[in-house]
Structure 1
Amino acid sequence: MVQKQQATAAPGPEPKKRRRVGFSPADTGVEANECIKIYLVSSKEEVDSPGISCVNPVDLNDFFDGDGKIYGYQDLKINVWINSISLHSYADVTYQSTINGEKGVTDLKSALQNIFAETIVADKDEFLQTFSSERDFIRNMVSNGEEMHSGVIDGSSINAEVAPSDLQVLRMEIGSPNAGLLYSRLVPLVLLFVDGSNPIDVTDPDWQLYLLIQKKEDKEEPLYRIVGFTAVYKFYRYPDRLRMRLSQILVLPSFQGKGFGSYLMEVVNKVATQENVYDLTVEEPSEKFQHIRTCIDINRLRAFEPIKPAIDSAVQTLTKGKLSKKAQIPRFIPPLNAIEKVRETLKINKKQFLKCWEILIYLALDPIDKYMEDYTSVITNHVRTDILGKDIETPRKQVVDVPSSFEQEASFVVFKCLNGEEANSNVQVDENKPDQEQQLKQLVEERIREIKLVAEKVSRICPKV
């Protein structure tokens, strides 16, 4: 038997292949803080050196529009090198590929230009040449600066490899030759390392730069480096005085934590007293700078004889007993003549002196543990006054919901609590209000913590005056 074979189908066109549809992964972007590293270097040998640590700027996300992310790049890495001698910068940008997703591709060149402006150099070789070609940039720029101080300051301590004899503070009027150009190169450092700061107006002649310079001896000629600087504004006070307002202060990251900020602040204090300005204020100081400033002022005040009787009087009153159990607590603020003497002699403004006053009392209480409860009551009184804008012992107003047959918007009720008693149970206090007493307690605890930190610091530096 022969098996019957099936007829072979006639050849036809090949079947169409089904096209597979793929979706690119969603571009969620990368935060600028995660992909940008900044390095401050003083020689071309330090560029790309594995031993160089990156510095920590403020929030880099703020420099990028929208949500602070960079879009359109895979494995993006940006290393920014800043020449601390000439203040030029170079950005080394690397990535695996680009993705033109829903939010497009971030224009990195434009974004970096907004931060570094004309200081940024596009070519790496050109950037490396700035270490030699602009070696004398700082020296040339400050050549016409007015020397305000050089060497050591009595009572100051600098914990660094820099010899105090190599330091000098120069003052430059912003309208003077070179000052505007120098500040324009300092602006990227201001944006990167001074939180919330904006460039000063270089067309306003009332701005001054105080530059802390390290003059380092070298084989050829001395090498000038900026250690730190501050911008100070002088403005008129009627009828014939000037006031000084410190607006920006920065110590370069490689010099931070070594006493240079205190050094610079002490020089500015000396200038304020020598030139007999009305007072010296600070514009929106950061918590860290405020701590340094207060430590300096406390040491100056502890050595200021005219206010010691007022401190002794306040301490004597506080130690008499159990203020915390009294219905009314004295304010414990310095007398007006003490406030005026401090302002006129030390140029410490009233607001700053009141902060220092609390610490001066704390330092004078011995033993502090014995009087801590009463001292806390005093600080609570001060904090509550700061919040309410009036004395704690004055009668307090409250807004309460009172049942009424009249229209709520057109009527009100005034009542008085006798003998300091709480309102009667018929008056319902709004239960949706935040717990003010708890908030007050937290603010007091924070103020006490700040006071203790300053007291500990100044006691360690100068235990007895």
Structure 2
Amino acid sequence: MDLDGADFRKYKISALQAVSFTLVASEREIDNPTICNKRCMFSPLMAHQVFGESELIFGYEGLSINLYYHHNSSNCLIDIKYDNEVTVIEVDDIPKLMNDWLPRNYFRNKEDFKQMIKNEKNDQMFGTVIHQFKRKTEVLFHEDEQVECTYKITQIDTEDELFQEYHERFETFIIWFIDAANFIDLKDKRWLIFYIYEEFIMPGSGKKIITPIGFTAIYKFFSYPNSNRARISQFFILPTHQGKGLGTIFYKTVYNRILEDMPEITDLTVEEPNELFQQMRDYCDSLHIYKDLKATGVNLALKNGKTLFSYFSKHKINKKQSLRITDILEYLNASQKGSSEKDDFEEKIFQRFKLQKMNENHVGKIARGSNKEKIETEEIDENVLRQELKAYLDQLTPVVEKLIKTLKTQ
């Protein structure tokens, strides 16, 4: 049967269009979804782990899948609506497809979920506060004036069983926003978990509202003979709170905690960062190193590879990231001096790329069994290298521009 035929096309819908999330604190957000504060609502970025590579759902016309999450406990209601359903052939079993990716014991009945909300805490928080700051901003569940919020960053006791149950619910968000995300096993004591919370007093009611707005999961790998290497496996900020600089403060706080209070950790790495996270990390790390260099009078340009590696090791920054930071700071310096210095910097990076490509070709020939004495360097396609250089500089440019802007205000 042709599912792409005119009769069936209307029964196929992108999961990214059908699925939506709403954070709720009361029955109001469920009973009146059309007037719900839009700051409480968001859509997924991806759905391939749930609905397959096509991210399509078949069998329903006018389909909507609304996922309501209690803002504090992350208990969840799934509300599936549609106008018509195909009856002549089997359709996608939506609850079955979503079952493994939703919080355990999620709700299917609205009235049961609303009853739960009446008895649910709105101010539960896990962990020990390691940093907090205040900011006046628009908040969830309140549509008018700005409210003063306190943001608290906590380090979690992962052996807390109540937290383990809670985190199993909150981490279900990441499947829709982090590519190839997996749920972690908190029984493994090598996990470090940090959370960031938003806290405010609701105008009018005086109720304290605490919402977990993000977390990071970091794994400690054993490093011979008696140390650990830490790797950020997951870093997530709710879409309702992205674009406000909160992730930057969160990352800085976690990095400083590891740098200053965890001597057993030698460096901090990141598992397959996406472009936005890499930019944030580059900015935070580069600003940190810039300030240290200014305070200590160290000149990176005068250091050789060995002493450079030793310098960055003290800051728990690994070799790959230290090279990026060095490039960013040199790019920053060149940009501030003028076009001639900027051209010189770009040519220096190009020559490094070229040498690296020549070495790769050389090693590759040896690996293929060529006679070492007869190896001739393959001709380098400089046009391809120039494109690679441009792509690399395009990654660094937003970081440099943000650093320039930041340094002007300090």
- TM-score, length-normalised on structure 2? 0.82
CA contact (8 A) 1:86 1:134 kept: yes
> Distance in 1 between the 2:213 and 2:61 partners?
38
Residue identity opposite 2:26 in structure 1: S
Structure 2 stretches lacking a partner, 5+ long: 140-146
Consecutive aligned runs of 4 or more in structure 1 exceeding 6 Å deviation: 162-165, 394-399, 409-414
> Distance in 1 between the 2:323 and 2:352 partners?
10
Select 2:34's aligned residue among 40, 49, 54.
49
| SS of equivalent residue, structure 2 residue 225 | coil
- Does residue 381 (structure 1) correspond to residue 365 (structure 2)? The answer is no
- Larger helix proportion, structure 1 or 2? 2
Number of equivalences: 387
Query: Deviation at 1:264?
Result: 0.9
> Distance in 1 between the 2:215 and 2:370 partners?
59
Which residue matches 1:180? 164
Instruction: Sort the Cα spacing of 1:397 and 1:137 in 2 relative to 1 into closer, same or farther, 3 A.
Output: closer
Which residue matches 1:87? 74
RMSD: 3.4
Question: What pairs with 1:43-192 in structure 2 (closer than 5 Å)?
Answer: 43-47=26-30, 48-53=33-38, 54-65=41-52, 67-101=54-88, 104-118=90-104, 120-136=106-122, 138-139=124-125, 142=126, 145-151=127-133, 160-161=137-138, 166-192=150-176
Which residue matches 1:368? 338
> Distance in 2 between the 1:439 and 1:447 partners?
12
Select 2:225's aligned residue among 227, 239, 244.
239
Which residue matches 2:143? none
> Distance in 1 between the 2:171 and 2:55 partners?
21
> Distance in 2 between the 1:125 and 1:236 partners?
49
Query: Deviation at 1:460?
Result: 0.3
- Larger strand proportion, structure 1 or 2? 2
| SS of equivalent residue, structure 2 residue 161 | coil
Which residue matches 2:187? 203
Residue identity opposite 2:128 in structure 1: E
Select 2:396's aligned residue among 436, 451, 463.
451
Instruction: Sort the Cα spacing of 1:68 and 1:253 in 2 relative to 1 into closer, same or farther, 3 A.
Output: closer
Query: Deviation at 1:45?
Result: 1.9
Which residue matches 2:274? 286
CA contact (8 A) 1:243 1:279 kept: yes
Deviation per CA, 1:34-80: give whole Å up to 9, x if none.
32233333433233133543413221244114643222222322222
| SS of equivalent residue, structure 1 residue 304 | helix
| SS of equivalent residue, structure 1 residue 25 | helix
| SS of equivalent residue, structure 1 residue 166 | strand
> Distance in 2 between the 1:99 and 1:33 partners?
21
Structure 1 stretches lacking a partner, 5+ long: 1-22, 153-157, 315-333, 400-408, 424-434
- Does residue 214 (structure 1) correspond to residue 198 (structure 2)? The answer is yes
Identify the range of structure 1 (278-287 vs 211-220) with the bigger mean alpha-carbon deviation: 211-220
Deviation per CA, 1:353-412: give whole Å up to 9, x if none.
11011011111224331123322222223444566665xxx979879xxxxxxxxx9999
> Distance in 2 between the 1:260 and 1:396 partners?
44
> Distance in 1 between the 2:369 and 2:240 partners?
64
CA contact (8 A) 1:31 1:61 kept: no
> Distance in 1 between the 2:369 and 2:310 partners?
48
Instruction: Sort the Cα spacing of 1:363 and 1:45 in 2 relative to 1 into closer, same or farther, 3 A.
Output: same
Identity between Structure 1 and Structure 2 (%): 23
Instruction: Sort the Cα spacing of 1:119 and 1:278 in 2 relative to 1 into closer, same or farther, 3 A.
Output: same
| SS of equivalent residue, structure 1 residue 200 | coil
